[in-house]
Amino acid sequence: MSRQPARSLLPLLRRRGLHDSTTPRPFTSVSAPPDATPSTSFPWPPHSPPPTPPPPDPAGARWSASWSPASPPLPPFTASQLRTAVSSIAASLLALPGPEPDPVPDLQAHSFPTLLAVSPLASLELLSLLRPKPRLGLAVFSFRRTLSPPPAIGEFALAISLASRAHEPDAAALLFADATATHSPDQALYNALMAAYMQNGLLDNCLETFHALERDRRCGPPNVDSYNILIALFGRSLLVDHMEATLRSLDASGHPRTIGTYNAIIAGYLTAWMWDKMEAVFQEMLSGHVAPDATTHLLMLRGYAHAGMIYKMEQAYERAYKHAGKVDIVHIRAMLCAYCKFDHVDRIQKIEELLQRLGPDDYRPWLYVLLIRVYAQEGLVDGMELRIAEALQRNVIVTTVQVMRSIISSYFQCDAVDKLAHFVQQAEEAGWKLCRSLYHCKMVMYGKHQRLEEMHRVLDEMECFKFDRTKKTFWIMHKAYVSCGRRTEANTILGMMWKHGFGLPSSVSVQ
């Protein structure tokens, strides 16, 4: 399925008259922090329950949209009531149809302006709940900027994070410029912009932002989140030396390493396929004061899967499942890939157990190809044909000769010439990678069953797909005729070999 290119968010910000700052933009592109390095400096709303929370009242979650600061003060409410009201708005917005719906009518219908006037924390809570749809969150923030009170710096930091998730670095830089024009920036704002640049692979811009943070006297020095973002940036860019140097700078700054630091380091070594160092960092965590979390175990699972360390991969899976109660589809696919590529006891059984966790849309073309090959290698023709049928139904095209030869070998070992012939016909029609071995195997199997007319027709198929006859082609035919006792035709084949310049094998004489 083709995807339409995402619409830029810059016209949206300008169209609503929200970018009226005359302050020059110090940065021009953006990236966002990895999941392994969460920022701890965003001013999130409080999540501690009240001493005696009243039962939530859906009707009380809305207030009159005609309320104004000159009106009598509204009654106070608890954090749980605020969360209930905002959750209702977020659920309604996330249910809107279309890729980029207009959230304004829904926000007004749910009296969001009134809720915001009562508690500015409502905006922070709502933006955080809209992370699954970052473009929708940015549209909400655009509307929120037209309301009173003006957005706080924490809201700008969240909006920059949303722009990062939407892969809109220019929009993130624009939001940063607007925030610094009206607020004194803090570390969280700089970190949000650094993370946005990092997520979008803009290394130079991320470094420039880090150095700007160091020079900005209005902020304190870079905190541990700032260093974590740089570590993740260098790890993603395979700049391991820079990543390790940044880690030493973090240690020299006096900031203690956090779980985000260790996860970023492990992710960097994983990307560089440096399994020994990845393992050493993990063992350091186990023996230190920072305990691994679910993200750590999932990173180790991926590393072990790529390295073919199946036993350790299974241990990491158990630990991740124990921490989070589930393992996402991405890591299930990584485990399937490892089982398909590396020999292991009962791997087919384990593969089929993991496949039950996948839905129809969770497969990838490369997974179909790997499954076909592993069933072929195990000699399980029925399972192989099932995967071939699924791949053909999904219009997956096999482009590697190694996979095709595995399929050929499986049919040959089972002496299933008719199944092989049917597969070759399907492969020709589907545009799969054809090779001369496909046709040679058919000829050998037809000759073995003394089906000589069908063996000859294979020559026409080879000619149709531009495969020239080789010495091996004639030699297969010669052996087929000899095995049937038809010496005259066998000698004719030897003459054809001589005519084509292949010569005769030293062990063969014309009789």
- Which tokens go with 294? 């679910």
Q: What is the pLDDT of residue 77?
A: 56
Mark out the alpha helices in 308-416 (DSSP H runs). 310-324, 329-341, 347-355, 365-377, 381-393, 401-413
Q: What is the pLDDT of residue 79?
A: 75
Three-state DSSP class for 186?
coil
> Which of these, 122, 117, 191, lies nearest to 161 by C-alpha position?
191
> Which of these, 107, 36, 111, lies nearest to 300 by C-alpha position?
36
Question: Per-residue confidence of the chain (511 residues) as pLDDT tens digits?
Answer: 444 444 444 444 444 443 443 333 333 333 333 333 444 333 333 333 333 333 333 333 333 333 333 434 444 556 788 889 999 999 999 999 988 899 999 999 999 998 898 888 899 999 999 999 999 999 999 999 999 889 999 999 999 999 999 999 999 999 999 999 999 999 999 999 999 999 999 999 999 999 999 999 999 899 999 999 999 999 999 999 999 999 999 999 999 999 999 999 999 999 999 999 999 999 999 998 899 999 999 999 999 999 999 999 999 999 999 998 889 999 999 999 999 999 888 999 999 999 999 998 899 999 999 999 999 999 999 999 999 999 999 999 999 999 999 999 999 999 999 999 999 999 999 999 999 999 999 999 999 999 999 999 999 999 999 999 999 999 999 899 998 888 888 888 888 888 777 766 666 555 5
**Using omega within 30 degrees of 0 as the cis cutoff, is the peptide bond preceding 149 cis?**
yes
Q: Using the 8-state DSSP alphabet, how is residue 103 labeled?
A: -
> Which of these, 220, 292, 255, lies nearest to 265 by C-alpha position?
292
Q: In angstroms, rounded to a whole number, what is the distance separating the alpha carbons of residues 325 and 85? A: 28
Q: What is the pLDDT of residue 58?
A: 35
- Residue-by-residue DSSP string for 45-56: PP-PPPSSPPPP
Helix (H) or strand (E) holding 140: helix 134-144
For residue 231, the tally of other CB atoms under 10 A from its CB is: 31
Q: Are 264 and 73 in contact (CB under 8 A)?
A: no
Q: What is the pLDDT of residue 45?
A: 37
Residues 6+ apart with CB under 8 A from 175: 13, 156, 159, 160, 163
184 burial type by CB count under 10 A (0-12 exposed, 13-18 middle, 19+ buried): exposed
Q: Phi and psi dihedrals of 101, rounded to 5?
A: -75, 160
Q: What is the pLDDT of residue 288?
A: 87
Q: Are 366 and 403 in contact (CB under 8 A)?
A: no
Q: What is the pLDDT of residue 40?
A: 38
- The CA–CA distances, whole Å, from 158 to 19, 108, 192, 443, 498 equal 17, 22, 8, 66, 78
Q: Are 171 and 13 in contact (CB under 8 A)?
A: yes
> Which of these, 42, 43, 40, 44, lies nearest to 257 by C-alpha position?
40
Three-state DSSP class for 13?
helix
Residue 202 half-sphere exposure toward CB, CA atoms < 13 A: 25
Residues 6+ apart with CB under 8 A from 259: 290, 291, 292, 293, 295, 296
Q: In angstroms, rounded to a whole number, what is the distance separating the alpha carbons of residues 358 and 229? A: 33
Q: Are 36 and 233 in contact (CB under 8 A)?
A: no
Residues 6+ apart with CB under 8 A from 146: 16, 18
Q: Are 206 and 60 in contact (CB under 8 A)?
A: no
- The CA–CA distances, whole Å, from 127 to 15, 109, 159, 300 equal 21, 18, 7, 31
- The CA–CA distances, whole Å, from 163 to 36, 169, 224, 285 equal 18, 7, 23, 33
Q: In angstroms, rounded to a whole number, what is the distance separating the alpha carbons of residues 220 and 65? A: 40
Q: What is the pLDDT of residue 80?
A: 82
Q: What is the pLDDT of residue 504?
A: 65
Q: In angstroms, rounded to a whole number, what is the distance separating the alpha carbons of residues 173 and 393? A: 45
Residue 245 half-sphere exposure toward CB, CA atoms < 13 A: 6
* pTM (predicted TM-score): 0.78
